[in-house]
Structure 1
Amino acid sequence: MSGLLTLEDLGVTIDGAEQRDLVEAVSFALEPGERLGIIGESGSGKSVTALAILGLLAYPLEARGSAVLSTDGGSVEVVGASQRRLDRVRGSVVSAVFQEPLASLDPLMRVGKQLAWPLRQHLGLRGDALRRAVLDALADVQLSDPERIARSYIHEISGGQRQRVAIALALAGDPRLLIADEPTTALDVTVQAGVLDLLQREVSERGMSLIFISHDLPVVSEVADRVLVMRHGRQVELAETPRLLAAPEHPYSRTLVEASRELDAFLPPSTGRARRTEGDR
């Protein structure tokens, strides 16, 4: 397999006295500009797989197999890579938005200062150019009054605004691949659609690849070209989205599709996600 990201038999093990596998034998190749959805129930290994791709597993978790990122200078094998080498690709080649924005934002640092770091580190910006880039990055994720947001601490802005800041932070280094791990789950329903629309717009305009992780099949089907279904730490099906929805092969995939259809049939035609995109206040 070859592509922007290539996984071959990627697994994650809990090391120690009671060694056991959390993820086993995940394999796929992600091409430039492609959108892959990863879906499964809680505990299926979705988020752990994402952390393995990012090289963010902490002891006692340990990755095995292979996860290779293509870069301008060749390729980087994430599994077993040094922290120094991972720092060169995180942010500039691959970046992530997590379910809870507080996981990636510093509560003791103003938003503008946090956003300035990757712009300086990956794009080499300084001085006035850096200050303009910070405000442009906040405006690009549709945050009204970027100057106020840049001066704020994260406790001074709403949950939807925090997630937009987290997206701006993830995109600051102009990565080729964005991993979005349940990016709307922690948000109020009134702001989820706006954040989802923002992610899709940014990915399209920048020509990035996307890995979108969710337990919500209807949402994944809106976003992804292909869908990887996981259960109990294993990859059970990988298919193009229309084929998975029309003719799922694995029994668990069929259960997911049927459950989504039953929910659609239960909801009245007028039901839909509310859209609020300006500031998510």
Structure 2
Amino acid sequence: MTALSVQNLSVQTEDQRALVSDVSFELPAGQRLGIIGESGSGKSLTALAVLGLLPSGLRASGSIRLGDTELVGASARTLNGLRGSGIAAVFQEPLTALDPLMRIGKQLAWPLSHHRGLRGDALQKAIIEALAAVALPNPEKIARSYIHEVSGGQRQRVAIALALACDPDILIADEPTTALDISVQAEILNLLDGAVRERGMSLLLISHDLAVVSQMTEQLLVLRGGESIEQGSTRHLLTAPEAEYTRLLVNTARSLEAYLPEVSAQAPGSPSGHTTPLTTPSENQA
């Protein structure tokens, strides 16, 4: 069963300038797809188009189907009904994704009441459980806090709790660790990996970091200048890429590892908390 199907997606400005051109991919239920490419390649715009959150002045065309629902051209009511329960997102910078003027517990209360119909004591219990599920210490205190009163790693955990609160079918993670200290990155990746696995969700991971997608995904889509360059299994694209651009990305990543062995020495969840080496899924399981 395909959870998400994107066919011939294009994103254009009002003056018809193409930022994303004819991109297609499918994300089967329970599977993981990574979208990689340099800055400006169209990765985040593709994710925003899927969520129906493109900035003003940009227009999506083509087809984006979430199950049986067509999202391109869908009404705000339809999209609002799906965000949170059908599809949810974790973005790079939680300070811009979360409301700085609202207590964290209040921000969690909205999706829990809107999508799950919780009220009163049941709602308060669900808020604390959502924060505890992402290993936040003292979730009662966190719920009473504003987002600027917690650390960067804790803010990203709050963002993940918000995304997971209503058990979406698909989680989009757009550069979820880039803004974090390297000591915190592995913790967040480990948390995302466990949550996706335990809940049986599909994962769409947006990243420029091949070491991250090599550990977290089964399929890869490579974008450059808003166009699809190559796609296939993570193992194939990391060991035998066909496109020259993909080979350049892989070779550059491996060269960086050679110069930074102390950074890439440990896998996610390891005691040192360092980022991961560039490995194929089979190498990681060996």
- Which TM-score applies when normalising by structure 1? 0.93
Residue 213 of structure 1, CA deviation:
0.5
Q: Which whole-Å deviations, capped at 9, do the CAs of 1:243-271 have from their partners, x for residues lacking one?
A: 11110011000001111121222233675
- Does 1:275 find its partner at 2:268? no
Residue 84 of structure 1, CA deviation:
0.7
Q: Please, which of 63, 78, 89 is the counterpart of residue 85 of structure 1? A: 78
- In structure 2, what residue type is equivalent to 1:275? G
Q: Which whole-Å deviations, capped at 9, do the CAs of 1:128-177 have from their partners, x for residues lacking one?
A: 11111100100000001001100101111111111100000011121000
2: CA distance, partners of 1:213 / 1:13: 20
Change (3 A) 1:271 1:210: closer
Range with bigger deviation, 174-183 or 263-272: 263-272
1:34 match: 31
SS in 2 for 1:196: helix
2:8 match: 9
Equivalent pair of 2:257/2:264 in contact (CA under 8 Å): no
Q: Please, which of 133, 136, 143 is the counterpart of residue 150 of structure 1? A: 143
Question: How many residue pairs end up in the alignment?
Answer: 269
2: CA distance, partners of 1:151 / 1:190: 26
1: CA distance, partners of 2:44 / 2:154: 23
Unmatched segments (≥5 aa) in structure 1: 277-281
The 5-angstrom pairing of residues 182-201 of structure 1 reads 182-201=175-194
Residue 272 of structure 1, CA deviation:
3.6
2: CA distance, partners of 1:44 / 1:103: 22
Equivalent pair of 1:15/1:59 in contact (CA under 8 Å): no
2: CA distance, partners of 1:121 / 1:4: 23
The 5-angstrom pairing of residues 10-89 of structure 1 reads 10-16=9-15, 19-70=16-67, 75-89=68-82
Equivalent pair of 1:14/1:21 in contact (CA under 8 Å): yes
- Does 1:123 find its partner at 2:116? yes
2:217 match: 224
SS in 1 for 2:112: helix
RMSD: 1.3
- In structure 2, what residue type is equivalent to 1:143? L
1:248 match: 241
- In structure 2, what residue type is equivalent to 1:46? K
- Does 1:104 find its partner at 2:102? no
Unmatched segments (≥5 aa) in structure 2: 267-271, 275-286
2: CA distance, partners of 1:45 / 1:269: 31
The 5-angstrom pairing of residues 151-166 of structure 1 reads 151-166=144-159
| Sequence identity percentage | 60
2:277 match: none
Range with bigger deviation, 172-181 or 266-275: 266-275
Range with bigger deviation, 121-130 or 40-49: 121-130
Q: Which whole-Å deviations, capped at 9, do the CAs of 1:38-69 have from their partners, x for residues lacking one?
A: 00000000000000000011321000000000
Equivalent pair of 1:10/1:63 in contact (CA under 8 Å): yes
SS in 2 for 1:41: coil
- In structure 1, what residue type is equivalent to 2:76? Q
Residue 102 of structure 1, CA deviation:
1.6
Equivalent pair of 1:13/1:20 in contact (CA under 8 Å): yes
SS in 2 for 1:198: helix
- In structure 1, what residue type is equivalent to 2:221? L
2:126 match: 133
